[in-house]
Structure formats: structure tokens, C-alpha cells
Amino acid sequence: MIVRYLEADQTGLLQEKIVQVENELENCTLCPRRCGVNRQAGERGYCGIGALAEVASYGPHFGEESVLVGDKGSGTIFFCGCNLLCRFCQNYEISHCLKGECTAVNEHELAAIMLELQAKGCHNINLVTPSHVVPQILAALPHVIAGGLHIPLVYNCGGYESVETLHLLEGLVDIYMPDVKFWHKDSAVQCAKAPDYRQRVQESLLEMQRQVGDLWVNSEGVAERGLLVRHLLMPGGMEESTAIFKYLAEHISKNCYLNIMDQYRPCGKALVIPGLEKTITVEQYQQAIKSAEENGLTRLDQRDPLLLYEKLIITE
């Protein structure tokens, strides 16, 4: 299966998309925050990032979903800044752009990172927290295409997206991977100051599903195209989890590939929010799995800790 950005390059669609987005940073409305700042002039809005994308780290990642990792790992690029800024973020220093964590890169440097990850054998380019750097990513695509990139692009986001920005990505992204965290307004406000989170994530899921459909996995067990949904379990959040599973089954697809994640731990400023000082128990995780299955979702990501350990040892 040919990756979508190569098809877009051949038809001229890629260049059209780059032209459409090239002035977006002058009055930035890339995400639902719609700050309207001039990032080209050095202004920084909610995400904390200006004209250039900033990268914290990159490399083959073996802790991602099994269908992304394969044998060689997922080629992750951790972008600094975030349009959601969850108070409990496990990458708090990166998302909040704390001093010394980030390196600004131009489109040539970003392209070089992608090509390096492919050269290391990674199965995909996993763009982590990319919502606020879509123009910079698009600007890098002609350079990676010229350099021979041919592996899928993964849009690994927090689910708080603008449909207009997703339209700009249509025909370019192979795999969408949103993390649907909240369902109740109170939770979204308390944790991320995003009262419209549920509405935006519903719109985004529908648009992502329309663009790429259910996740397609090749004969080697590696994903090549489609929607992969993550859901981070939150302390005391089983009611919200069940509502999310119900929505996915009824409005997206019962064939939706879902990763229910139990790795929440109180990071960042989580301890100032009552209830978020807890972690997820084995019983809570099993209850979530049961709830997803009862709602008709059976394509659940399964990770083998022993297999993950073996892969990490081999790559060291």
C-alpha cells in the first residue's frame, strides 16, 4: 500500500495543501484554542511554540501499540508544546516547554530526523503532539519525499483538534491516533481548561474515520492505514470510559482499534486536583476491558511485557 503523502505529491495535492497552510501561523487558529497570535513574528499562544517546530527527542520507540512497533519500533518524534496542556501530563516538561528541554528545527532538519528514523528500520514516523506544528510538518514533506521516505505517517494527538486543520491533512496522514481522555465537561475543564473537549473530540473522530477508515494491518502485523484510538484511564473515571466506548461503537465503528491504557500516574500538577493522586488498579483496568467488549469493541491492543523487554534488550 503506497503511503498517502506520496500519492498527494504525485497528484499535486501536497503542494496545494502547503500553499493553503503557509500563512496560518500569522494568525494562528490551528487548534480549538484559536489564539490568533502571529507566530511568524515570534508570538507564542497557548501551545507555547513560535514559527519553528521544537523537538524534545526522537528515536525508535518500543512502548507504543503492538501494531505500530513491529520488530523495529515506531519512529517517534516528540514535539515540544501542546494545545491541550493536561495538568497531569506525563511529559510535563516537554509539553510546557520548560527551559533546556526543546530544540528548534527548520523543515530541513525535521526532514532529516524523519529520514534517519526510516534508515534505522522504523515502521512509521510517529508525530507525537503535532496539532500546533502542522504547517512545519507539511513544509518538511517535500524534503522527505525527495530523500526517499516511504513509511506511514502517524498523527499521534490528544484528540483536541480543529476539523479545519484535519481537512488540511486529508490525503497526507496514513494513521490517526487520538487519545480520547475525557467525556464530562467538568473533567476537561479541571484537567485541561478545555470545556469544549467532548464536542471537538467527537468532530475529530468522525473526520478521522471518514478520511482513513478502520485500521488496516498487514500480514506482518504492522498497521499501514486507518484510525487507532487511545483511551487513558483516569482515577474515578469509569463512567466516562464507558461513555467513550459506547460512542466509538455507535458512531465510529465497532471495528475500531482501541488501546485502553492503564499507565496513568500523578505527574505535573496532578496532586492539586482531588482524586488524581491515585493510580489505576488491575481491577479497574479489567473492568474497562469488560466495558469495551460489552459495548461491542473487540479490537483491543494487546501488549506482551516480556516481548517488549526482549525487543528493548536486542536494540541496546
What is the rounded distance in angstroms from the CA atom of residue 264 to the CA atom of residue 279? 6
Residue with the three cell numbers 524534545: 56
- The residue among 100, 161, 174, 166 whose CA lies nearest residue 129 is 161
Higher pLDDT among residues 266 and 100, named by residue: 266
What is the rounded distance in angstroms from the CA atom of residue 316 to the CA atom of residue 276? 35
- Coil, strand or helix at 104: strand
Q: Characterise 187 by phi-psi region: left (phi > 0), alpha (psi -120 to 50), beta (else).
A: alpha
Per residue in 201-236, pLDDT (tens digit) is 999 999 999 999 999 999 999 999 999 999 999 999
pLDDT at residue 302 in the model: 81
Q: Model confidence at 126, in pLDDT bands (50, 70, 90)?
A: very high
Beta-bridge mates of residue 227 = 176, 214
Asked whether the predicted pLDDT for residue 160 surpasses 90, the reply is yes
pTM of the predicted model as reported, rounded to 2 decimal places: 0.94
Parallel/antiparallel/unpaired status of strands 53-61 and 103-105: antiparallel
Are 89 and 268 in contact by the 8 Å Cβ rule? The answer is yes
pLDDT at residue 312 in the model: 45
Q: Model confidence at 304, in pLDDT bands (50, 70, 90)?
A: low
C-alpha cell belonging to residue 150? 516511504
Q: Model confidence at 91, in pLDDT bands (50, 70, 90)?
A: confident
Q: Model confidence at 1, in pLDDT bands (50, 70, 90)?
A: confident
Domains of the chain: residue spans and CATH: 4-315 (3.20.20.70)
